[in-house]
Amino acid sequence: MIVFLNGQFLPKEEARISPDDRAFLFADGAYEVVRAYRGHLFCAAEHWNRFRDSLRALRIPYPAGVDFSGIANELLKRNQLVDAEATVYLQVSRGAAPRRHAFPAGEVAPTVYGFAAPFTNPAEKWAQGVKVLTLPDQRWARCDIKSVSLLPNVLANQQAQEAGAHEALLIRDGFATEGSLSNFGAIFAGVLHTAPRNNYILPGISRQVALSLCSALGIPVREQPVAEADLKNAAEAMLFGTTNEIMPVVQINDQPVGDGRPGPLTRQLQQAFRESVEEGRRRG
């Protein structure tokens, strides 16, 4: 596997990162994951804009002269993934410096790391839908930053997996915020409810695509979080994410959602999402 590290493409075995790197010591960095559909980076500009926002919020200097699309495309090429389904991961940390909490004194170059990996579509889950497990949202109050500090997400995701669920559904103050790696939406009386963009959710690119599709399809949207107590009344539920796309949720804990099968609006959104991927590929 060929990875990117600080300006160079090299075999992963040769990539060396300092133990002083602040991502290692403090989880002091941000990242992005972009889906590549046979060489087409879906919503790349939106991902890089969010990367910029995350870095700005963390006060990590935007790495000079870095072209994220260029790196991502080169990673796909060098790993023979141009004609495949893949994801590209890119991370920027505050760099390596002797350990102290405050930012390093003087100029420290950010560490830029990236890799591409083959991706298998969760076709069966898209068709049949998945279970989610509600868990307390134990994250900080800046969930809008795509920080590599993901321990509460990791723990929640693990707990969900152990319960046979596909994803955790995080509950803060009695309301569903999002998943451990996806946004959440539910249909009530034909209206899609999803938590609003604020500091308690990641502004998901797929969520934004889904909201645009709702607008195009005439599905009304209410950007308002679903109360935990109302989850059992949802007619349909779904996850939005780069790897999940639009994932039907057919069970929340032990309760089926609706009739326990992916609902019609979820199906419509899945179909429209696929079409927008194809449209993106055609436009190049």
Ligand X SMILES: Cc1ncc(COP(=O)(O)O)c(C=O)c1O
DSSP strand pairing (2-5 vs 111-118): antiparallel
Task: Residue 275: count other Cβ atoms within 10 Å of its Cβ.
Answer: 11
Q: Are 193 and 185 in contact, with CB atoms under 8 Å apart?
A: yes
Q: Which is nearer to ligand X, 2 or 270 (CB)?
A: 270
Kindly list the residues in this chain that would bind ligand X in the complex (CB under 6 A). 33, 153, 178, 181-183, 202, 204-207, 240-242
Residue 174, helix vs strand vs coil:
coil
Q: Give CA separation, 231 vs 165, 172, 186, in Å.
A: 16, 14, 8
At closest approach, how far in Å is the CB of 241 from ligand X? 4
At closest approach, how far in Å is the CB of 96 from ligand X? 25
Residues 244, 157: Cα–Cα separation, whole Å:
14
12 catalytic residue (yes or no): no
At closest approach, how far in Å is the CB of 225 from ligand X? 14
At closest approach, how far in Å is the CB of 5 from ligand X? 22
Residues 64, 21: Cα–Cα separation, whole Å:
18
Phi, psi of 187 (to 5 degrees): -105, 125
Residue whose entry in the numeric block shows the structure tokens 């915020």: 177
Residues 271, 275: Cα–Cα separation, whole Å:
6
Please provide the DSSP assignment of 203-241 as one string. --HHHHHHHHHHHHHT--EEE-PPBGGGGGG-SEEEEEE
Q: Which is nearer to ligand X, 94 or 146 (CB)?
A: 146
Q: Which is nearer to ligand X, 204 or 258 (CB)?
A: 204
Q: Which is nearer to ligand X, 79 or 157 (CB)?
A: 157
At closest approach, how far in Å is the CB of 117 from ligand X? 14
Q: Which is nearer to ligand X, 185 or 241 (CB)?
A: 241
> Which of these is catalytic: 12, 77, 131, 146?
146
Active site residues: 146
